[in-house]
Amino acid sequence: MSNDTFTNWENLVKKQLKTEDIYTILKKDNLEGIEVKPFYNSVEKQLPNFPKVEESTHLVADYHESLEDDVFAFLLNENVENLTGKTVFINNKDLAEHISPQEEDQYFSLIDVFDEKNAKINDQLVKEFLAKDFTRNICIDVSLHQNAGASIVQQLGITLAKTKELTEVYGSEILNKLIFKLAVGGNYFFEMAKIRAFKLVFNEFSKEFDLDEVPYIFAETSLRNKSVSDSENNLIRSTLELASAMIGGADAVYSNDYLLHRSTENSQEISFKQQIVLAYESIINVFEDASNGSYYIEDITKQIAEKSWKYFVEIEEKGGYLDLLKEGKIQEDIFNHAFEEQKWVEEGKIKLIGVNLYPKLEIKKSAEELYQKEEIKAVRWAEMYE
């Protein structure tokens, strides 16, 4: 690109922002270590199109009998008789162990086979699930890590490390039996790039076994940026998170209830209808890789992929995920990032409308009270003010 072309772009941005000082205004710091330019006018090498496993994103609702005629994918916490011809995501361990799908059913287990507290794989559970005729039997869940404050890079590096642990025990044939449960946060474009970057690094990982696998991604809305006092704001945040997941190329999406701790039938229905509006009015659930070619998203996708792979390699070089979990190193890494993130909330660098901005609430708990270095546990930013 010639200097003249760059200058033309730069002048155009200055004109639109009505200032010469565009670099100060457009500079946006982040805790991921991702370099974000003030504007983009090219991409070094466009990434290939990242396919999905599912042709259209599954819109997943909590089961309710009133939805049976209109909804095609359900999240089940208890058994439902005569539920046929549906896509079912099982969220209850006992149910997953005992249920037997019919031929016309498509069943997925969302039960993580890792015992994080005791730093081991639940071998009996893996063998039980592998024996079942599920579409995807084995779940690797890193939604907890996101809600506990892990960075995007940490989330993806840990996901790969957990995958590596499974392949070492059960062989590479397990790769196409996996379903990955991710939580999608509020950093709109970064979260699109997160899903795309995971597809890139997982595919690269599969090539180590002479395979060319695409990961099955179940994405749910985060709890980390939600507050008790502002349910309407929660609704807006989770809608944007669902959009990130669909545009990024998730195979299934699920919206956690925007009413924290006091879910109602009405709030559950509205939470699901967020997905319906996005899918049928914006039609973003049918694209394989809608953000492909965006200079900005391509650039941060590459950076996230490279940093995630590097973190994964570091975990492996130090003994692997389970060993580092036993030593408390994974917990410490997540704690350090989560604590720094909470400080940004406290300082107003991360803005939560109705919590630390419009209006600003009083701080009732310190960051030190919210986090524990030895434990991976979900913490919402707003808990500091509640």
In SS3 terms, 266-306 reads as HHHHHHHHHHHHHHHHCCCCCCCCCCCCCHHHHHHHHHHHH
Instruction: Give the up-direction half-sphere exposure of residue 378: CA atoms within 13 A in the CB hemisphere.
Output: 12
292 vs 137: CA distance, rounded Å: 30
Beta strand segments in 129-203, E: 138-141, 178-184
Asked whether the CA dihedral 158, 162, 167, 173 is positive or negative, the reply is: negative
pLDDT of res. 2: 59
pLDDT of res. 256: 96
pLDDT tens column, 158-178 = 999 999 999 999 999 999 999
106 vs 247: CA distance, rounded Å: 24
pLDDT of res. 1: 52
Rg (CA), the chain: 21
Q: What is the pTM of this model?
A: 0.95
CA 219 to chain centre: 5
Residue 385 neighbours by CB distance under 10 Å: 21
pLDDT of res. 102: 74
Parts of the chain with a pLDDT under 50: none
pLDDT of res. 25: 83
Q: Residue 332: in which H helix or E strand, if any?
A: helix 329-347
pLDDT of res. 217: 98
22 vs 15: CA distance, rounded Å: 10
CA angle (237, 239, 245) in 5-degree steps: 105
pLDDT of res. 3: 66
